[in-house]
Amino acid sequence: MARPIRIQYPGAFYHIMSRGSDRLNIFNDFQDYQNFLLVFFDTIKRYNWAYYAYCLMPSHYHLLIRGNRRN
Protein backbone atom coordinates (compact mmCIF):
# COMPACT_ATOMS: atom_id res chain seq x y z
CA MET A 1 0.00 0.00 0.00
CA ALA A 2 1.37 3.41 -0.95
CA ARG A 3 2.13 6.09 1.60
CA PRO A 4 -0.46 8.90 1.83
CA ILE A 5 0.39 12.12 0.01
CA ARG A 6 2.49 14.45 2.17
CA ILE A 7 0.71 17.70 2.96
CA GLN A 8 3.07 20.57 2.17
CA TYR A 9 2.76 24.24 3.01
CA PRO A 10 5.23 27.04 3.79
CA GLY A 11 6.60 26.81 7.33
CA ALA A 12 5.45 23.22 7.95
CA PHE A 13 7.40 20.95 10.31
CA TYR A 14 8.56 17.56 9.02
CA HIS A 15 9.94 14.51 10.77
CA ILE A 16 12.18 12.76 8.26
CA MET A 17 13.46 9.26 8.95
CA SER A 18 15.38 6.74 6.92
CA ARG A 19 16.56 3.25 7.85
CA GLY A 20 19.02 0.89 6.19
CA SER A 21 17.59 -2.03 4.26
CA ASP A 22 17.03 -5.00 6.60
CA ARG A 23 18.13 -2.63 9.37
CA LEU A 24 21.71 -2.80 8.15
CA ASN A 25 24.08 0.03 9.01
CA ILE A 26 24.07 3.09 6.80
CA PHE A 27 26.89 4.70 8.78
CA ASN A 28 30.02 2.60 9.23
CA ASP A 29 32.50 5.07 10.67
CA PHE A 30 32.94 8.65 11.84
CA GLN A 31 33.64 9.83 8.28
CA ASP A 32 30.21 8.58 7.14
CA TYR A 33 28.52 10.68 9.84
CA GLN A 34 30.62 13.70 8.91
CA ASN A 35 29.81 13.38 5.20
CA PHE A 36 26.10 13.05 5.93
CA LEU A 37 26.12 16.19 8.08
CA LEU A 38 28.02 18.17 5.43
CA VAL A 39 25.35 17.33 2.84
CA PHE A 40 22.53 17.90 5.36
CA PHE A 41 23.75 21.37 6.38
CA ASP A 42 24.38 22.34 2.75
CA THR A 43 20.81 21.30 1.89
CA ILE A 44 19.40 23.24 4.87
CA LYS A 45 21.21 26.36 3.69
CA ARG A 46 20.33 25.90 -0.01
CA TYR A 47 16.59 25.56 0.59
CA ASN A 48 16.41 28.02 3.50
CA TRP A 49 15.04 25.41 5.91
CA ALA A 50 15.47 25.43 9.67
CA TYR A 51 16.49 22.33 11.58
CA TYR A 52 15.46 21.71 15.16
CA ALA A 53 16.87 18.28 15.88
CA TYR A 54 18.72 15.43 14.30
CA CYS A 55 19.74 12.02 15.55
CA LEU A 56 22.17 9.78 13.66
CA MET A 57 22.45 6.12 14.60
CA PRO A 58 24.37 3.37 12.81
CA SER A 59 21.29 1.94 11.08
CA HIS A 60 19.07 5.01 10.67
CA TYR A 61 18.55 8.72 11.24
CA HIS A 62 15.84 11.16 12.27
CA LEU A 63 15.58 14.83 11.24
CA LEU A 64 13.15 17.50 12.42
CA ILE A 65 13.06 20.37 9.94
CA ARG A 66 10.82 23.28 9.13
CA GLY A 67 10.20 24.16 5.51
CA ASN A 68 10.82 27.52 3.93
CA ARG A 69 8.27 30.08 5.08
CA ARG A 70 8.24 31.68 1.63
CA ASN A 71 6.61 30.21 -1.47
pTM over 0.85: no
CB-based burial of residue 42 (10 Å sphere; 0-12 exposed, 13-18 middle, 19+ buried)? exposed
Cα gap 67→71, rounded to integer Å: 10
Q: Hey, where are the domains in the chain? A: 13-66
pLDDT band at 2 (very low <50, low <70, confident <90, very high): confident
User: CA nearest 51: which of 33, 35, 68, 71?
Assistant: 68
Q: Over range 54-70, report the average pLDDT.
A: 91
